[in-house]
Amino acid sequence: MWHGAKVAVIVPAYQEERLIGRTLRGLPAFVDRIYVVDDASTDQTAERVSSQTDARITLLRHPTNRGVGAAITSGYERALLDGADLLAVMAADDQMDPAELPLLLERVWAGGVDYAKGNRFLHPEAAHMPLLRRLGSAALSALTRSATALDVDDCQCGFTVLRSSAARRLPLAELWPRYGYPNDLLGMLAAAGSQVADVPVRPVYADENSGLRAHHMLTIVGVIARRWRRSRATRPDSVQPAHAERPSPAARTTP
Ligand SMILES: Nc1nc2c(ncn2[C@@H]2O[C@H](COP(=O)(O)OP(=O)(O)O)[C@@H](O)[C@H]2O)c(=O)[nH]1
Ligand SMILES: [Mg+2]
């Protein structure tokens, strides 16, 4: 428990046999439940999770690989069923500093927002992020801002906390299943009128390998564009009656 809130940490994992153990051992004692979602990894990821003695850990497994977004949806759904109040997401490759988890929890639980996300650009060590990563995330964030009208940056950061009451209002089953899910989730939150805030977090780049490739940028741009089209279609000022007719001058009311 964390200040009276039941905290779940969702850990999407694919081919993470090397770092999943270290990631799980680093999770703070106040975390109530840990859901590792293994996505048909062909290495020893699942075995490494099963060999942990920490009773808070539940291993969920997709029989075929569905993607990191789909894995997070599975984790969210299970944590909601188990009655969590706050739903954190942390990667399985030890790229998030567990000491910073309270900063995100605090912003939601005491700070009144529905979703807090890490922003590595705001951290004093921002320059430790590889330049291409920084540029890529900055460009995708500019697009995400214009699609969602949210005041956010570093939208590819996967270190997040979602309030469970806000999660229940989201069509989580529609979340983009692969890389690009953070941008899609921001679009969903904006459409639901949820409050979102950025929290500075330390960029951690050590001995992990990323599955993200340059071509994923294009897919993510497509995901953001899809969200932008949807938000335009549902904006009240863009909805026209099916057979809109101009009122005749006689029908107009005069002041
Ligand atoms: N369940 C699941 N997790 C994935 C998949 N792809 C990536 N991940 C996990 O998502 C997290 C972030 O992925 P990563 O490739 O490191 O992205 P990056 O840190 O943004 O470069 C890591 O914990 C990965 O193990 C997938 O297809 N399924
Ligand atoms: Mg990574």
> Ligand 1 — pocket residues by CB below 6 A?
12-14, 16, 37, 39, 65, 67-68, 71, 91-93, 95, 156, 158, 210-212
93 pLDDT higher than 80? yes
245 pLDDT higher than 70? no
Neighbours of 134 (CB within 10 A): 17
Q: What are 154-212's pLDDT values in tens digits?
A: 999 999 999 999 999 999 999 999 999 999 999 999 999 999 999 999 999 988 888 88
What contacts 24+ positions apart, CB below 8 Å, involve 135-141?
A: 136/217, 139/217, 140/183, 140/217, 140/220, 140/221, 140/224
Give pLDDT, residue 255. 34
For residue 75, report the distance from its CA to the centre of ligand 1, in Å.
14
144 pLDDT higher than 80? yes
Shortest-distance Cα residue to atom 27 of ligand 1 = 67
For residue 239, report the distance from its CA to the centre of ligand 2, in Å.
41
Which ligand number lies closest to the CA of residue 154? 1
Shortest-distance Cα residue to atom 6 of ligand 1 = 68
Atom of ligand 1 nearest to the CA of 23: 23
136 pLDDT higher than 60? yes
Beta strands 7-13 and 57-61: pairing type? Answer: unpaired
**Distance (Å, rounded) from C-alpha 5 to C-alpha 102?**
12
DSSP-based three-state secondary structure for 59: strand
- Mean predicted confidence (pLDDT) in 22-46: 98
For residue 12, report the distance from its CA to the centre of ligand 1, in Å.
6
**Distance (Å, rounded) from C-alpha 93 to C-alpha 174?**
26
Element (H, E) at 9: strand 7-13
Q: Are 194 and 166 in contact (CB under 8 A)?
A: yes
Residue ranges of E strands in 124-246: 160-163, 196-200
- How is 111-157 classified by DSSP, letter by letter? T--SEEEEEGGGSTTGGGS-HHHHHHHHHHHHHHHHHH------TT-
Of 82, 41, 40, which Cα lies nearest the Cα of 58? 82
Residue spans per domain, the chain: 7-231
For residue 92, report the distance from its CA to the centre of ligand 2, in Å.
8
**Distance (Å, rounded) from C-alpha 160 to C-alpha 72?**
11
**Which residues, in sequence order, are CB contacts of 142 under 8 Å at separation 6+?**
none
Shortest-distance Cα residue to atom 2 of ligand 1 = 68
Q: Are 109 and 3 in contact (CB under 8 A)?
A: yes
Which pTM value belongs to this model? 0.91
What's 63's DSSP letter? Answer: S
Neighbours of 231 (CB within 10 A): 16
Q: Which CATH number describes the domain made up of 7-231?
A: 3.90.550.10
For residue 54, report the distance from its CA to the centre of ligand 1, in Å.
22
Which ligand number lies closest to the CA of residue 59? 1
Give pLDDT, residue 236. 63
